Amino acid sequence: MFVGLQRVGDWLLRLGREEDSFLRSALVRTLVDDTWLALSTIALTQIGWAMVIATTGNFLFLLFMPIDLALWVGRRRLRHRIVLPRSAEIETAGATLALLNVGWSVLVATQVILLLQAGNLRALVLGMMLSVGERSYTSTLYAGFPRLTRACAAISTLAQMIGLWLAFNPQLVPMVPMAVALSLAFLLLGRRAHATLLEAVKARQIAHRQSRLDPLTGLGNRLAKLERLEAICEAAGAGERFGSLLYIDLDGFKLVNDRFGHAVGDRVLVEVGRRLSACLRKHDIACRTGGDEFAVLVTAMDEFSLRHLASTIVSSVQEPIAITEQTSVNVGASVGIATTSPETTSPACLMETADAALYDAKRSGKGRFVIAS
C-alpha cells in the first residue's frame, strides 16, 4: 500500500516532457514553505476547527485537530530532508510531502463543507476565507507541479460545491458561479506562476551547469570534481558504496605546446578530454583540473575493472592525435588511483593519496598507472 501511495505522490510531481532530475529536485525544494508561513497555516486551520465545533456543537470534531497537527508536523520533518544540499532521498521525500499536502487539502475541504452547510453568515464567511486561503497557498507554493496544484484545486472546488449544496439556502445560489470563477482564476494564476518558476529554475540550472564546466574541453572543472568527490566520500562514509579517484597527468604535453603553439595544445587537450569521456560509464565523470591535468571519478568499480579502466585510459591517450592531414602528435598519460576505504573517506585524504600515486607513476617511467595501497 505504501508503495502504491508513493507512486501516486510521484505521479503528482511529474513534469511530463520537461522531466529532468536536476529540474525536478530544484522544484521539489520549492514545496518547502518558510517557518512563518507554516505557522500561519496551522494556526488558521486550528482556528477553523474551533469554529466548526462552535458552529455545529459537535465536539467529535476535536479529533480532527490532532490529525491536522500531525500532518503539519510530518510536513515540517520532511522539510529538513528536502532542503539538504545533496539529499539522496529528495524525490522520495518530495512524493511523500505531495501526499501529505493533498491530505491537508482534504482536511481544509472538510472544514469548508462543515462551515458552509451551517448556513449562517459567520460560518459562511469563515468557510469562504478558508477556501480562498487554501487555494492561494496551493496555487503559489505548489506552482512548480501543475498536477499537484490541479488535484488540490479540484478538492477545494468540490468542497465548495458540496458545502453550498448541503446548505439548501436559495440566498447562497449566487455563490456557486462565484466559486467556479474563483477556481478558474486560481488555475490561471497557478499556470502563470508555474511558467515563471520554471523559467527561473531553468536559468539557474544553466548557470549551475556552466559554472561546473571547463570551457575548453566541456568536461567538469575543479568545482564539479570537488562536488562529486564529496558525494562519493559521503556515500562511502555511510557504507553505501565505494568510489575511486583517478588523477591523470599528460606526459610530453609541454613539448607539443612549445613546438606547435597553444592552439595545437588546446586541440590536444580537447581530444584527450573526448577520449577520456569515451572510456567511462554513463554515471562516471571526467574533469579537467589544470593545464594538462585531469581527474576521473568512478563509483562501485572493483580492482580488476579499475585496472582495466586505467589501462584503457593510458593506451587511448597514447594514440596519435592528428593536427593536420600530414602531421600528428603523441602524448602519454600517467595515472594515480585512490579508492575510498575506512581510512580514506574524506575528499582531502583521497586527493592526497591519488596525488602520491600519480607521483609514483611518473617516477617509475611515465605512461603507466599506480593504485595506492
Task: Answer whether 304's CB lies under 8 Å from 292's CB.
Answer: no
The active-site residue out of 266, 292, 302, 360 is: 292
Q: Tell me the C-alpha distance between 151 and 158, whole Å.
A: 11
Greatest Cα pair distance in the chain? 95
Q: Tell me the C-alpha distance between 337 and 339, whole Å.
A: 7
Q: How is the beta sheet containing 285-288 ordered, strand by strand?
A: 285-288, 293-299, 243-251, 332-339, 369-371
Task: Answer whether 310's CB lies under 8 Å from 249's CB.
Answer: no
Task: Answer whether 269's CB lies under 8 Å from 314's CB.
Answer: no
Any idea what DSSP says for residue 211? T
SS3 89: coil
Annotated catalytic residue 355: no
Q: How many CA atoms lie within 13 A of 286 on its CB side?
A: 24
- How many Cβ atoms sit within 10 Å of the Cβ of residue 64? 19
Q: What are the Cα distances from residue 367, in Å, to 53, 318, 322, 352?
A: 80, 8, 20, 21
321's CB contacts (< 8 A; 6+ apart) are 267, 268, 271, 272, 328, 329, 330, 331
> Can you read off the three cell numbers belonging to residue 258?
612549445
Residues serving a catalytic function are 292
